[in-house]
Structure 1
Amino acid sequence: MRQRKAVALVVSIFSVVVLLLAVRSQIPLSAAAPKITLLTHPVLYAAMGKETGVIAEFKKRTGIEVEVVTGPTEQIQEKALAEFVAGSGRLDVVNLIDTMYTSEMVQFLEPLEERFKAVDAGYAKDDLIGSLVESLRLGGRQMGIPFRVGTAMLYYRADLFQQKGLQPPKTWEEFMAAAKALTMDTNRDGKIDVYGVSVRGKPGFEAVTDFTSYVYAHGGLVLNKEHTRCALTEPLAVAGAKTFVEVYRKGYASPDMPAHARDDLIGNLQQGRATMGIMFSPYWGFLQDAKATPFVGKFGWALVPTSPGVPPGRTLNSLWSFAIDRKSKNKDAAWELVKWLSNRENQFEMALKYNNGPVRTSVYENAEYGKKFPLAKDWLKAIGASLTLPAHKNWFRMQDIISTEVIAALRGSKTPEAAMQEACEQMARPLR
């Protein structure tokens, strides 16, 4: 009898332990912990803390294993579409950038609106920046959840502005005047050694990204709102193109601008070769790195200048989000990962520790975050006013066309007006 009681007690204790472990891990007793696959960009994975960051904590909390596959932007789109078309279900969660939400891609994604509506109060879905959530509502359905956003900001050498008696520019006329005044021969050898503006002109994504920042801030668009027609010949878009080209043609940017990429854009300010730059908001951290620049503490920030009637700070947003494969065999586990990486606590941790661009209002308004990033509330203002690149199945073809014409204008073989006209004529085919 005693032996039976002892056995019964052991069984009872074991059952309680199993139950507690199951509750803690949130995994059903009848099922083994699933394994899911996340396809993401290396920069985004770094913003998650890589192997020891928030994904490791997710596995510890839930028991769900996450295989992370990384690749550059173009490969993410190619790999995701290949797996989706094949119906393999191998990619459970995919990080997509704004231009990837084309009709071709969306047809393979799991609609998320019912899951999103059903999240508990602790997730605080209304804390997600509304314009970002809305941008992922396609055809009345929530097809993605925001993860990382950056906008364009004007970063500048505050000490040099002060020396010249200049204020941060709010209009494009003030911007061009400052660019001229801050293009200098500081050692008086007859050669310019400090340029007013740092800007990217490397053909492809780099040139088109910076060019679009200028176009949007002038009030223009690349495509019309329906994404059926090129809008680069509209007066406001042409005005943005002219400013972008004139910065280079008037000598306010380095002669090497047509070859300049991301590292040059940042490095020019870090090393004192330029005094202003319109750049991705998280790059502020590079200007505060004492190992990379001797000018820490001398940089300032401002919203990007805008044309009259254009909302202050309107420019280019870059948004990465999460989508779930419609053919995934682990949709519940995939959704848990999406919620985990977009919840309030982890968005704060990733922003503070790993320099992720947060998608929650509460992070920008958090005092600790504001202490590390005093420009946080201006970031939030710019994000709310700004636009993303257009999502179209042939965007990369159109990007190449725009790049070719912008470079032609920079080199002086075409006027900005003629370049925009040619770009629209060339884009008519991929827009069909």
Structure 2
Amino acid sequence: MRALNLKKVCWLIVGCVAVATSGCTSDDANDVTKPPELVFRDESVTIRVPADTKFAEIWDLTLAEWSGATGAETNIVTDESLQGPSQSADVLVVPLTEIPRWIEQDQLAPLPTSIRDGSALKWLDVFYGVREHTSQIAGAPRIVPVSVPILVAYYRADLLAAKNLEPPKTWTEYQKLLATLDEWAPGLTAVEPWSPEWRATTFLARAASSAKHPDQLSYEFDIRTGEPLIDSPGFQTALELVQQAHPYLDDDVVTYSPEDCRRELLAGRAAIGIALESGPNETPLPFGPKGSTSETAIERAEGIELTIEPLPGSARVYDQSKSAFQEFPEDRPHRVTLTGFAGSGVAVSKTAANSQAAWDLALQLSSKDVSQTFPPPLCSPVRESQADMPAIYAGSLLRPEEQGAWMNAVRTSLSSDQCITELPLIERDRYRKVLSLELIAMFEGDATPQEVLQRVAGEWQSITESLGQEVVRKSYRRGLGFPAP
């Protein structure tokens, strides 16, 4: 635990200023400068942060300013410090993957209406999909988002232009580009993050547009029953396309993270890829699946030009209520954005000793210049006001126009009303592990997509039964933003 008691220092500064100005004349000889009213005098606010982070150092100045202005003390504790029953916290920096655990413990307070409507937070500045989906938990917004990374698609713009080709709008068109790589990008490969840590995320991001109908809430599970939907026809269609793509992917993709895919694209060895940006320092993404284990430096080849787009969509989407596919126009396919596999937000505990002080500090940390309190990659674009500053959040190896294209892809994806959180339920890692282990059969065996997903569904159902199907149903509903009756 680290305590920051800065009131004495702040009053010393105030006193020095008073002495320095004591020679100034006053119309009232008895006029005495009064210190400002300290609204949270003698309060103490505890901040919980994930382990192995340096927030105590990063926030030195911010916390000093807030303490000096309010009179409150601040303490920072790490995640391990909160495991004991006597420990508590007021303000929480919560990885998005941990939200189900905190919700199960009924720890996260909803954002007060006065704060959502106030000028300090500027809630409507947050991208619509993040505001209305990712931040919505158990019937109310409970997270002030700081980082919501997403996977996007990278293409060699120079090679596409040379053959009068356009980036694909659907996964079917994407597959056609893969199948014709030798014609428009001879000698180059395609890369996607299929390492054990990323395999589940890559598949769920690929499958979302064909398995998540725009008029339905359920995705991986049925929110009415808690039963898994992972073997539904929409998921099978997506896995069939993965199977068709496999022969055209780099042989090493089963070990690749998004960082590895991005390296291959910038090196000029890949013409198509799925990856993400984590900041100008090329730092691995925090609070998510494990990144690259490669020690190879990322370098950019000369002469290459990239364009970055949202992940493709689908022209055929499975409708669970009708047990049939619905067709969408090829030029306006259905797209779904997968979030929640990494990233973080700031929340306030329901048990905060002084909720007003806790929310005041939470806003100080998350709604001002967030790139100062959460330097990239701890933050990513989540607001409209960040959209004109792509260089702050994108890798420095991208050219300015490429950084702008990436920002536009992120903005478009996160502004959609079709954002879905990856497996937002208790014991999510157990479900992810099963999916990852079974998906490798697509690369190493002869199993069909139907067989693979039926096995996944069976193992997911076993996990669900061990936890209690009603418990899982309620947890999944809460994770998707709805109350759990």
Q: How does the TM-score come out when normalised to structure 1?
A: 0.76
Structure having the larger proportion of residues in helix: 1
Cα displacement (A) at 1:40? 3.1
Other-structure match for 1:189: none
Tell me the CA shift for residue 428 of structure 1. 0.2
Distance 1:209 1:132 in 2: 18
1-structure distance, mates of 2:123, 2:30: 40
Aligned-pair CA distance for 1:406: 0.5
**What does 1:318-337 align with in structure 2 at a 5 Å threshold?**
318=340, 319-329=343-353, 331-337=355-361
Contact 2:278 2:376 (8 Å CA) reproduced: no
1:56-71 paired onto structure 2 within 5 Å: 56-63=61-68
Relative distance call for 1:413 and 1:163 in structure 2 (3 A) is same
**SS of structure 2 residue aligned to 1:278:** strand
Residue 317 of structure 1, CA deviation: 1.9
Structure 1 counterpart SS, 2:176: helix
Distance in 2, matches of 1:306 and 1:111, equals: 35
Secondary structure of 2:415 counterpart: helix
Say which of 340, 343, 356 aligns to 2:379. 356
- Encode CA deviations 1:252-277: one digit per residue, 9 max, x unaligned: 11112212224322211122221111
Q: Identify if the C-alpha distance between structure 1 residues 40 and 352 changes in structure 2 by more than 3 Å, giving closer, same or farther.
A: closer
**1:171–1:142 CA distance, 2 compared to 1 (3 A):** closer
- 8 A Cα contact 2:381 2:410, kept in partner: no
1:16 aligns with: 33
> Pairwise mapping of residues 25-40 of structure 1 onto structure 2 (< 5 A)?
26=38, 28-29=40-41, 31=42, 34=44, 36-40=46-50
Structure 2: runs of 5 or more not aligned: 1-25, 213-218, 284-296, 316-327, 394-399, 470-485
Pick from 404, 426, 441 the counterpart of residue 374 of structure 1: 404
Unaligned runs of 5+ in 1: 1-8, 71-75, 187-191
The verdict on how the C-alpha distance between 1:316 and 1:307 changes in structure 2, with shifts beyond 3 A counting, is: same
The structure-2 alpha-carbon separation of the partners of 1:142 and 1:306, relative to structure 1 and needing over 3 Å to count, comes to: closer
Distance in 1, matches of 2:389 and 2:111, equals 28
| C-alpha distance in 1 between matches for 2:375 and 2:49 | 23
Name the structure 1 match of 2:83: 82
Q: Deviations over 1:171-217 (max 9, x none)?
A: 2222112112225898xxxxx9521x2112221x3111111111113
Change (3 A) 1:326 1:359: same
CA distance in 2, matches of 1:81, 1:240: 41
1:127 corresponds in structure 2 to: 125
| Distance verdict in 2 for CA 1:123–1:114, change over 3 Å | closer
- Structure 1 distance, partners of 2:430, 2:390, is 43
Superimposed CA distance per residue, residues 376-426 of structure 1 (whole angstroms, 9 cap, x where no aligned partner): 333211113332202111211111110111111221241111101100010
Q: CA deviation at 1:353?
A: 7.1
How far apart, CA to CA, are the structure 2 residues paired with 1:101 and 1:354? 19
257-266 or 319-328, which deviates more: 319-328
- 3-state DSSP of counterpart to 1:229: coil
Within 1, Cα distance between the matches of 2:427 and 2:126? Answer: 29
Aligned positions of 1:56-205 closer than 5 A = 56-63=61-68, 79=80, 82-83=83-84, 86-89=85-88, 91-102=89-100, 105-114=103-112, 117=115, 120-135=118-133, 136-182=135-181, 194-195=188-189, 197-203=190-196, 205=197
Question: What letter corresponds to residue 234 of structure 1 in structure 2?
Answer: S
Separation in 1, partners of 2:277, 2:364: 24
Q: Quick one: which of 336, 343, 350 aligns to 1:314?
A: 336
Over 3 Å counting, the alpha-carbon distance change for 1:395 and 1:355 in structure 2 is closer
For 1:239-388, what aligned pairs fall within 5 Å after superposition? 239-248=237-246, 250=247, 252-282=248-278, 292-295=299-302, 298-308=305-315, 309=328, 313-318=335-340, 319-329=343-353, 331-343=355-367, 345-347=368-370, 356-364=379-387, 373-375=403-405, 376-385=407-416, 386-388=419-421
In 2, Cα distance between equivalents of 1:356 and 1:103: 22
Taking every aligned residue pair, what percent have the same amino acid on both sides?
18
1:411/1:245 CA distance change after superposition, 3 Å: same
Q: Distance in 2 between matches of 1:368 and 1:284?
A: 7
1:207 counterpart = 2:206: no
User: What is the alpha-carbon distance in structure 1 between the residues aligned to residue 376 and residue 194 of structure 2?
Assistant: 31
Given that residues 149 and 339 in structure 2 are in contact (C-alpha distance below 8 angstroms), is that contact kept between their aligned partners in structure 1? Answer: yes
1:51 aligns with 2:51: no
How many pairs were matched up? 388
Query: CA 1:124–1:225 in 2, change beyond 3 Å: closer, same or farther?
Result: same
1:409 aligned to 435, 438, 442, which one? 442
AA at the equivalent of 2:276: F
Aligned counterpart for 2:431 among listed residues 384, 398, 401? 398
State the AA in 1 paired with 2:250. Answer: S
* Root-mean-square deviation (Å): 3.8
Cα deviations across residues 76-120 of structure 1 (Å, max 9, x unaligned)?
A: 6xx48735xx2521x333333444332763433142333654763
Please tell me the residue identity of whatever aligns with 2:350. Answer: R
What is aligned with 1:428? 461
Structure 1 pair 180/360, CA: closer, same or farther in 2 (3 Å)?
same
